[in-house]
Structure formats: structure tokens, C-alpha cells
Amino acid sequence: MKTRLLRIACVTFCVILTTAAVGFAFSGSHNTTEKPHQISEPYEYPVVPGTDAWKSLKSHDEMVKACDVPDNIQKCMTTEALFETIMTYPLLHDMLCYSNLNQGYEMVKSNCSMFDEFFSRPDAESVINAYERTEILPCSLKHSQSSNLSSACLSTMCNAEFGSRVSTLQ
């Protein structure tokens, strides 16, 4: 009888322990308060061309690192905010330093994970189409002489990512 009670107690203890362990394991993986795409403002680069901090950078690699937008911030940004952040990327015009814009785009993209995050979004194409239809430039480009260059860069990015699907850019 004692052996039977001991077995029942052990089985009960194991069931309780297993249930508690499973509950503990799942409690941290389902954070319902964290909502993706809640940052609606473009990222403000802490170091930009024309500043003393930018002038102190010693190499292109340092510039790339200074312009890096952390992945956790990218994932929390709305597609529109991410698009504006890309369009104001301080090294976007590096695309012009290569034999052709396609090659330049691939090099810029390889240094910046924002492009992959943006083009992985299901609404990326519609954000670009809305931008093209309204011709609304991100605020930092509205009065910039580089807006034509930004448009050329955008057109190249879209052709590389979407091909002929984005008709407004052809």
C-alpha cells in the first residue's frame, strides 16, 4: 500500500512539474503587448553628412556602421516610416559610385539590412506606388537638390526588386 501511494505521489508530482515547466516555457514566448510596425516616424540618423561627427569618421566602413538602423527598430517601424528612412539613408547615393545603378544598388543593399526588411513587407509595393502617385518626398528631401538622384535610386531599387510589376516607375 505504501508503495502504491508513493507511486501515485511521484506520478502526481511529475505531472505538476511538467505542467509548470510547459507553462513557464510558453509564458515568455507570447508577449501580447509587443506589436510590430508601431513606429510611425522615420529613423533619425545620429550621424549625418555635414556634421562634425560625420567628418570624424575615418572610413566608409565607419560611415556604414554609423548609419546602421538596428534590426529591432526596423521590425517595429511601419512600412511608410521604413521607406522614408531608406530614402533619407545618408549613403543611398553611393549607388552612383559604380559602373551602373544596378551594381550600385546591390552594393548599397549589401551594407544595409533595411532594404531586405522593407522589400519583405507585403505592402512595400503599395507604399512605393503611393509615393510615386503623390510625388510626396520624405520631409528631408522636399527642398533638396538631390531629389532627382533619389528618384533615380528609387527607380533602380524598384526595378531590381519588383521588375516590371511597378508600372509607375518604368
What is residue 93's predicted lDDT score, i.e. its pLDDT?
85
DSSP class of residue 83?
A: H
138-150: pLDDT as tens digits: 444 443 445 555 6
Distance, CA of 167 to CA of 92 (rounded, Å): 23
Distance, CA of 107 to CA of 80 (rounded, Å): 23
What is residue 37's predicted lDDT score, i.e. its pLDDT?
72
Strand pairing partners for 77? Answer: 39
79-137: pLDDT as tens digits: 999 999 998 999 988 888 888 888 888 999 999 999 999 999 999 989 988 887 765 54
Q: Minimal CA–CA distance to 112: which of 135, 144, 85?
A: 85
Instruction: Report pTM.
Output: 0.66
